[in-house]
A and B are shown apart, each in its own frame.
Chain A
Amino acid sequence: MTGAGDMADIRDTTLETPEAAGGPHADKTYSYFPGCSLTSSAAEYDVSFRLVVEKLGISLDEIEDWNCCGASPAPHHWGGNLGVLLPARNLHHASRDALVAPCVGCYNRLKNSQYEIASSEEIRAQAERLFGEPVRYETEVLNLVEFFARVTTPEKLAGMAQGRLAGLNLATYYGCLMTRPAKIMNFDNARDPVSMKPLLRATGADSGHFPFKSECCGSYMGLARKEIVLRASRRIIEVADDMGFDAIITACPLCHQNLDLRQGQINSTFGTSLEMPVLYFSQVLGLALGLDSDDLGIDTHMVSARRLLEKIRRGADATEEKARVS
């Protein structure tokens, strides 16, 4: 864990104007693939992502007429190629050099598809037949954490965040699909991922080791076999609660659904009284940048983040008081 001291050092040396938030590639425009969840049950993920991106001065180019990536059901069916060809259509229509897919389910499928197209002549021929021209698939596919690490730096973010989230301890929860399978995702460490930490710590928050960071939440079993999801997700929330974390941070709409939407069901099934807020990575960055929590859609979650927001407010009041006195 970093102490508050480390963060203070970073903040002191990088007091820059908000306009200077850009990282090395900040002038670029990125293709944007929202995916189905971000247009409905995870609308707040889309909203918060767009707000933070705008604040950082980056522009997004939403893929025209994009379609569902096929999620978990497509790769299991009809010989497996459906899970390659559905995402392929989105890769084909992406017009920029790099594409960002905040939903890690979509990110995973897009990268899988890219890998399969690159390694199979047969699939390339199949795609060409379908799209009427050679398939374009070489756009770089980025997940949300990778994207933010690209367009800004911890130092610059710290300069904008002014230590707003100091005093919070956030559990980084990566789940499965961001890093696995390792040979295809080729991102972070599949067993012990750490990529969220530098940016989270730049907000002033602490982010201690969360041992359940890559445990599965129960995936898509929620509708058909709810009790399996409740049992798998309960362990994750309980460990975070026992360890005194203020919130679980995720980048996956399905994990969010299982951990937040079903937390009440977990409590009523197991007689627990868990009240662990689950926030999207983009919402945390938004809070750090001083955006309003309702604008970021935090009020649309089932588990209230009231206590966490009060903590942030108290921190802000204390800073103001200190500034007034001196």
Chain B
Amino acid sequence: MAIRVSSTIADGAGVTAEIERRSGEHISSCYQCGRCTSTCTGTFAFDYPPHRIMRLLQLGQVEEVLNSRTAQLCFDCMTCSSRCPMNIDVAYVIEIAKMIADERGIEGGEKDVQLFRLAFLKNVRRHGRLHEARLMAWINFRSGKFFNDISLVPMTLRKKKVHIVPPRIKNRREIHRIFREVTAKQREE
């Protein structure tokens, strides 16, 4: 796959610098040995393997990175980071790219994965703890895949692996305060 030299995000180099600043990692020190890619569990599902993400960032081709499936789908298993000979936390670099993509409302063709993360957090914000059954129902409803995993339902009910009533913590106000604090801070920046 050829890498285009022009980029439509004018501040390409600026975004790379932002990722370097927020992650504390030196993207420029990657010399493309490909070890991260050779150990990556997720490449079969990605459009760009990790070493190509690094190269794109070096070239300021941030549009490709922020729009990539890789940024949305990375499992964050951190195997790449544990193998990098330059000690670059590659997974963290991809995680920051994911964060910036989310902040800019880019879904990279993986709307359901993004939906899952948001639904998870909404669920926690409301109850203080995760209500797994509700999360699953909500995801199926919003993604339109109503019967996804429906075959697992009778078994999980029979084996008492689900709560029907949501678990709630007492001091939910403190949880709401945490969410408010973090989102307010984000808006400031």
* Chain A residues in the interface with B (C-beta under 8 A): 36-37, 39-43, 65-68, 70-82, 85-86, 89, 126, 129-131, 175-176, 180-182, 190-191, 214-216, 218-221, 223-226, 228, 231-232, 261, 264-265, 299-300, 302
Contact = CB atoms under 8 A, between A and B. Distances in A.
A73 B120 contact: yes
A284 B149 CA distance: 29
A191 B83 contact: yes
Interface in B54-109: 73, 75-79, 81-83, 89, 91-92, 95, 98-99, 102
B148 A68 contact: no
Nearest to B44: A231
A130 B73 contact: no
Given A224-B115, A300-B160, A72 B76 contact: yes
Given A219-B77, A228-B42, A85 B182 contact: yes
Contact of A81 (B129, B155, B185): B185
- Candidate in A66, A71, A79, A131 with the most chain B CB atoms within 10 angstroms: A79
A76 B89 contact: no
B110 interface: yes
A67 B185 contact: no
Contacts of A41: 132, 156, 161-162
A36 B167 CA distance: 9
A224 B139 contact: yes
19 contacts: A39-B167, A40-B163, A41-B161, A67-B129, A68-B130, A78-B185, A79-B185, A80-B22, A82-B121, A86-B124, A89-B178, A130-B177, A130-B181, A131-B174, A176-B77, A176-B79, A181-B78, A215-B77, A223-B135
A226 to B, nearest CB: 7
B185 A224 contact: no
Given A37-B130, A68-B124, A79-B189, 6 more contacts: A78-B186, A130-B174, A176-B76, A190-B82, A224-B112, A224-B113
A40 B42 CA distance: 28
Contact of A226 (B133, B149, B178, B181): B149
A164 B95 CA distance: 45
Q: Which 8 interchain pairs have the tightest Cβ spacing?
A: A216-B77, A224-B112, A73-B117, A180-B78, A219-B75, A36-B130, A176-B77, A216-B41
Contacts of B38: none
Contacts of A261: 152, 156
Contacts of A176: 75-79
A74 B98 CA distance: 12
B181 A68 contact: no
A265 B42 CA distance: 19
Nearest to B95: A76
A67 B156 contact: no
A232 B42 contact: yes
A261 to B, nearest CB: 6
- Candidate in A68, A75, A175 with the most chain B CB atoms within 10 angstroms: A68
Nearest to B124: A68
B45 A225 contact: yes
B98 A78 contact: no
A215 B41 contact: yes
A216 B75 contact: yes
A79 B120 CA distance: 17
Contacts of B98: 76
Contacts of A190: 78, 82
A181 B73 contact: no
